Amino acid sequence: MSCCLIKRFLCCAVLFFDAAIAPAQNTEAKAPPVIDVHVHAMDGNFPGVAPMCPNTSKFTASDPKEKEEPFGWVKEPCTPALYPSAPGEYMKDVLAEMERLNVTAVVFGDPKSAQKWKDSAPTRVIPGTSFQSGMAPGQRVALEELRKDFTNGGFKVMGEIGLQYEGISPSDPSVDAYFALAEELDIPVAVHMGTGGSGRANVTMPKFRGSMGNPLLFEELLARHPKLRVQVMHAGYPMIEEMLTLLQANSHVYVDVAGLIWSYPIKEVNRYIERLVDGGFEDRVMFGTDQLLWPKLMAYSISIIQNADYLTPQQKRDILYNNAARFLRIDNTQGK
Ligand SMILES: [Zn+2]
Which of 66-75, 263-272, 325-334 is the least confident region? 325-334
Which of 22-36, 295-309, 318-332 is the least confident region? 22-36
Integer CA distances (angstroms), 114 to 16, 142, 258, 259, in order = 33, 18, 18, 19
Q: Residue 161 Cα, ligand 1 centroid: separation in angstroms?
A: 8
Whole-angstrom distance, CA of residue 264 vs CA of residue 240: 15
Q: Residue 312 Cα, ligand 1 centroid: separation in angstroms?
A: 28
Q: Residue 160 Cα, ligand 1 centroid: separation in angstroms?
A: 7
Q: Residue 258 Cα, ligand 1 centroid: separation in angstroms?
A: 8
Which residues have C-beta within 8 Å of that of residue 216, sequence separation ≥ 6? 242, 245, 246
Instruction: Report the 3 state secondary structure along 58-89.
Output: CECCCCCCCCCCCCCECCCCCCCCECCCCCCC
Predicted confidence at residue 135, as pLDDT, reads: 83
Q: What percent of the chain has a predicted confidence (pLDDT) above 70? A: 89
Average pLDDT of the residues in 15-41: 66
Q: What percent of the chain has a predicted confidence (pLDDT) above 90? A: 77
Exposed / middle / buried, residue 324 (Cβ in 10 Å: 0-12, 13-18, 19+)? buried
Q: Residue 29 Cα, ligand 1 centroid: separation in angstroms?
A: 32
Integer CA distances (angstroms), 38 to 1, 103, 184, 315, in order = 10, 12, 23, 19
Q: Residue 219 Cα, ligand 1 centroid: separation in angstroms?
A: 20
Is the confidence at residue 25, as pLDDT, over 70? no
Q: Residue 22 Cα, ligand 1 centroid: separation in angstroms?
A: 26
Q: Residue 28 Cα, ligand 1 centroid: separation in angstroms?
A: 31
Average pLDDT of the residues in 144-173: 97
Integer CA distances (angstroms), 141 to 116, 131, 138, 144, 264, in order = 19, 5, 10, 9, 33
Alpha carbon dihedral 276, 278, 283, 285, in 10-degree steps, equals 20
Strand bridging mode 103-108 / 230-233: unpaired
Q: Residue 290 Cα, ligand 1 centroid: separation in angstroms?
A: 7
